A = this chain, B = another copy of it.
Amino acid sequence: MCEPMLHGENEESGLRHYCGVFGAVAIEPWPTELDIPRIITLGLVGLQHRGQESAGIVTTTGEEGQFITKKGMGLVEQIFKNEDMIKLKGNLGIGHTRYSTMGGSELINIQPFVVNTAHGKIAVAHNGEIVNAPALRHKLLKSGVGLSTDSDSELITQFLTHPPSCGEPNGANWINRIKSMMEVATLSYALLIMYKDVIYAVRDPFGNRPLSIGKILPPSFKRMDLVPDEDIEGFVVGSETCSFHTIGAKFYRDVLPGEIVEISKSGIKSCGIVPRPNGQLPAFCIFEYVYFARADSVFESQMVYTARQRCGRQLALEAPADADIVSTVPESATPSAVEYAKTVGLPYTEIFSKNRYIGRTFIQPTTRLRQLGVAKKFGPLTDNFDGKRIVLIDDSIVRGNTMQALVKLLKKYGAKEVHVRVASPPIKYPCYMGINIPTKQELIANRIPLEDLPQHLCADSVKYLSIEGLVKAVQEGIKDNGQAVGHCTACLSGDYPVKLDW
Distance between Cα atoms of A396 and B414 in the complex (Å): 32
Q: Which residues of B contact A361 (CB under 8 A)?
A: 77-78, 81
Question: In the bound complex, do residue B46 and residue A353 qualify as a contact, i.e. CB atoms below 8 Å apart?
Answer: no
Contact of A35 among B219, B295, B366 (CB under 8 A): B366
Which stretch of A240-248, A278-286, A427-435, A443-451 is in the interface?
A240-248
Q: Using known A-B contacts A303-B381, A363-B82, A376-B42, determine if residue A141 contacts B116 with beta carbons closer than 8 Å.
A: yes
Q: Which residues of B contact A69 (CB under 8 A)?
A: 105
From A74, A145, A354, residue with most partner B Cβ within 10 Å: A145
Distance between Cα atoms of A443 and B419 in the complex (Å): 47
**Which residue of the partner chain B has the closest CB to A50?**
B357
Q: Which residues of B contact A141 (CB under 8 A)?
A: 116-118
Contact with B along A389-413 (1 / 0, CB 8 A): 0000000000000000000010111
* Size range of the chain A interface in the assembly: 35 or more
Q: Using known A-B contacts A33-B368, A353-B294, A371-B219, determine if residue A46 contacts B144 with beta carbons closer than 8 Å.
A: no
Closest Cβ–Cβ distance, residue A305 to chain B (whole Å): 5
**Which residue of the partner chain B has the closest CB to A303?**
B383
Q: Which residues of B contact A303 (CB under 8 A)?
A: 381-384
**B-facing residues in A147-179 (Cβ within 8 Å):** 147-148, 154, 157-158, 160-164
Question: In the bound complex, do residue A219 and residue B367 qualify as a contact, i.e. CB atoms below 8 Å apart?
Answer: yes
Q: Which residues of B contact A78 (CB under 8 A)?
A: 359-361
Contact of A81 among B122, B222, B363, B375 (CB under 8 A): B363
A107 interfacial by beta-carbon distance below 8 Å: yes
Contact of A108 among B107, B118, B145, B363 (CB under 8 A): B107
Contact with B along A244-283 (1 / 0, CB 8 A): 0111100000000000000000000000000000000000
A196 interfacial by beta-carbon distance below 8 Å: no
Distance between Cα atoms of A35 and B364 in the complex (Å): 12
Question: In the bound complex, do residue B372 and residue A248 qualify as a contact, i.e. CB atoms below 8 Å apart?
Answer: yes
A239 interfacial by beta-carbon distance below 8 Å: no
Q: Which residues of B contact A71 (CB under 8 A)?
A: 104-105
Contact of A359 among B77, B108, B117 (CB under 8 A): B77
Question: In the bound complex, do residue A366 and residue B38 qualify as a contact, i.e. CB atoms below 8 Å apart?
Answer: yes
Question: In the bound complex, do residue B367 and residue A305 qualify as a contact, i.e. CB atoms below 8 Å apart?
Answer: no
A48 interfacial by beta-carbon distance below 8 Å: yes
**B-facing residues in A104-119 (Cβ within 8 Å):** 104-105, 107-108, 113-118
Question: In the bound complex, do residue B294 and residue A46 qualify as a contact, i.e. CB atoms below 8 Å apart?
Answer: no
Q: Using known A-B contacts A105-B107, A144-B161, A357-B48, determine if residue A80 contacts B363 with beta carbons closer than 8 Å.
A: yes
Contact of A148 among B80, B115, B360, B381 (CB under 8 A): B115
Question: In the bound complex, do residue A294 and residue B379 qualify as a contact, i.e. CB atoms below 8 Å apart?
Answer: yes
A85 interfacial by beta-carbon distance below 8 Å: yes
Distance between Cα atoms of A338 and B49 in the complex (Å): 27
Q: Which residues of B contact A107 (CB under 8 A)?
A: 104-105, 107-108
**Which residue of the partner chain B has the closest CB to A249?**
B372
Closest Cβ–Cβ distance, residue A308 to chain B (whole Å): 11
Contact of A146 among B80, B161, B221, B376 (CB under 8 A): B161
Distance between Cα atoms of A382 and B225 in the complex (Å): 12
Q: Which residues of B contact A246 (CB under 8 A)?
A: 372-373, 375-376
A6 interfacial by beta-carbon distance below 8 Å: no
A350 interfacial by beta-carbon distance below 8 Å: yes
A471 interfacial by beta-carbon distance below 8 Å: no
Question: In the bound complex, do residue B161 and residue A41 qualify as a contact, i.e. CB atoms below 8 Å apart?
Answer: no
**Which residue of the partner chain B has the closest CB to A85?**
B363
A52 interfacial by beta-carbon distance below 8 Å: yes
Q: Which residues of B contact A368 (CB under 8 A)?
A: 33-35, 219, 248
Q: Which residues of B contact A115 (CB under 8 A)?
A: 146-148
Question: In the bound complex, do residue A42 and residue B363 qualify as a contact, i.e. CB atoms below 8 Å apart?
Answer: yes
When A and B form their complex, which 8 residue pairs have the shortest distance between CB atoms, in order from nearest? A77-B359, A296-B379, A219-B368, A48-B357, A146-B161, A115-B146, A296-B353, A118-B141
A-B contact pairs, 15 of them (CB 8 A): A45-B357, A46-B355, A72-B105, A82-B363, A105-B107, A107-B108, A117-B141, A146-B161, A219-B367, A224-B414, A245-B375, A295-B381, A296-B380, A305-B353, A305-B383
Interface contacts beyond A85-B364, A225-B414: sample of 10 additional A-B pairs, CB < 8 Å, sorted by A: A45-B357, A49-B357, A78-B359, A115-B146, A246-B376, A248-B369, A248-B412, A305-B383, A331-B356, A335-B350
- Listed in ascending order, the chain A residues whose CB lies under 8 Å from chain B are 33-35, 38-39, 41-42, 45-46, 48-49, 52, 69-78, 80-82, 85, 104-105, 107-108, 113-118, 122, 137, 141-148, 154, 157-158, 160-164, 219, 221-225, 242, 245-248, 294-296, 302-303, 305-306, 331, 334-335, 338, 350, 352-369, 371-373, 375-376, 379-384, 409, 411-414
